[in-house]
Amino acid sequence: MDRSPDTHATHDTQAAQAAQDSRTVYDPDTYARRMPYQELGRLREAAAVSWVDETATGARAAGPGYWAVWRHAEVRAVLRDPRLFSSHLGATQIRDPSSADLAYVRRMMLNMDPPEHSRLRGLLTRAFTPRTVARLGQRIDARARDLVAGIDPGEVTDFVPVAGELPVWTLAEVLGVPASDRYLLFDWANRVIGYQDPDYAASDLASSRSGATPMAGAALSVPPRPGSDGTMPDPRTRAGIPDLYAYAHELAAFKRTHPGDDVVSILLAQVDDAGGRVGVEEFENLFWLFAVAGNETLRNGVPGGMAGLLAHPEQWLRLVGDRALLEPAAEEMLRWWTPVIHFRRTATADTTLGGVRIGAGDKVVVYFASANRDPRAFDRPDAFDVGRRPNDHLAFGHGPHFCLGSALGRRQITAMYAALLDRFATAEPAGDLVRLRSNFQNGLKHLPVVFTP
């Protein structure tokens, strides 16, 4: 049946709106100003899955485009089926790596499918023993109290660096990185997470620090250098972050001869079902995963939670009155301020998802920031509710790649806010927050707050 002119006009208007919303969601400049929740909401309500063009942004060339997955149920379906939606084929970032880089990044656990992924994850699971996790949890609580003790009551505090210290400290404890070398972890995370933001892309906090170990010296001797066009190399490749790999190599050698009770020492001693151990290259790639993925969610999730409380002061008062709400509050912070905006998979065969035909080899990008506000999965999804139950958010992923460090992540959030509530009665905004320019990380660079007893 032919459609009427009015129907044609409505369809064309809706298509134009969807195209504009897709461009807004893809553009990293959008996120320096705000999270595009309105655009995500319109796209999600229009379709579970829709096409997004990869337009050129700055020095970044246009790409072939991808299928974006907006709704909670379809995101879960993609993440739990690595047979059909592969992490390995094209890796897990929207941008297609070069063929040489792809061959290398495929060796990272983040970009593996079973059974290779299952082997490494099994070894890591054995390294995260209950005793190790319990010990770390107690020390996380103490470190959070120390950080909060350093806040001056009644003075403006930038909460981002305060909050950022805890996940970096925790990561260093997991990895057995000496205190003098820990600013390297800041630099590596800044460069990888903030590669689209000029303030973070060339982060170099460590080179000015004294007392670094020989391991740090080896890293600092091979910094990444700009190419002939003046741009820095992609930090998500080995060539783009040589100092991290140099440090990982030295750390593994040191831990093999001087093992401690950290996760790295335990991991390097593990034997898989075939009698093999973690190899040198495997460890170097695992170190990249720890140093970046083990850092990014909490570095943005902890201050993101504070942004939620500042925007909803009645929720702070609920926590003041009922500490039993801390655990559901941590989940709500991760849902409401979803730190990782999206992740990519690649279709291994022709399939249908959300009523849309997807071809073999097509990029499929799941949007956690949209799924975590899907009204099909959450009552009043835009509301910030520290008592929300149930809360099936996807901030830690889902399926085979569900975050191994999720328990430690939750402990860090509850530890930080328990320490704040123990010391302060109020928290009030003291200026505008400053966002990270990134369409991958929902990041904060500055969050001014005044805490009062």
298, with CB counted inside 10 A (0-12, 13-18, 19+), is buried
- Within a domain: residue 72? no
- Within a domain: residue 430? yes
419: left (phi over 0), alpha (psi -120 to 50) or beta: alpha
Between CA 183 and CA 153 the distance in angstroms is 27
Between CA 427 and CA 257 the distance in angstroms is 47
- Within a domain: residue 15? no
- Within a domain: residue 359? no
CA dihedral 186, 188, 190, 193 (to 10 degrees): -130
pLDDT of residue 284: 87
pLDDT of residue 31: 97
- Within a domain: residue 361? no
| Residue among 206, 277, 208 at smallest CA distance from 246 | 206
pLDDT of residue 8: 60
Number of domains forming the structure of the chain: 1
Q: Give, for all 453 residues of the chain, the pLDDT tens digit.
A: 455 556 666 667 788 899 999 999 999 999 999 999 999 999 999 999 999 999 877 666 788 999 999 999 999 999 999 999 999 999 999 989 888 888 888 988 999 999 999 998 998 888 877 788 888 999 999 999 999 999 999 999 999 999 999 999 999 998 899 988 988 998 888 888 888 888 887 788 787 777 789 999 999 999 888 877 777 777 877 888 999 999 999 999 999 999 988 888 888 888 777 777 888 888 888 888 888 877 778 889 999 999 999 999 999 999 999 999 999 999 999 999 999 999 999 999 999 999 999 999 999 999 999 999 999 999 999 999 999 999 999 999 999 999 988 989 999 999 999 999 999 999 999 999 999 999 999 999 999 999 999
Between CA 170 and CA 183 the distance in angstroms is 13
Domain encompassing residue 216? 80-89+98-336+367-388+398-452
| Residue among 71, 121, 96 at smallest CA distance from 289 | 121
- Within a domain: residue 5? no
Write down the residue that tokens 């009644």 correspond to.
154
Question: What residue type is 75 in one-letter code?
Answer: V
Asked whether the beta carbons of 54 and 66 are under 8 A apart, the reply is: yes
Digit-coded pLDDT (tens) for 141-198: 999 999 999 999 999 999 999 999 999 999 999 889 998 898 899 888 888 888 888 8
- Within a domain: residue 44? no
- Within a domain: residue 280? yes
CATH number of the domain enclosing 377: 1.10.630.10
Cα distances from 33 to residues 16, 21, 81, 237, in angstroms, run: 23, 15, 35, 28
The alpha carbon of 256 is separated from its chain's Cα centroid by a whole number of angstroms, namely: 29
CA terminus-to-terminus distance, the chain: 69
pTM of the predicted protein model: 0.93
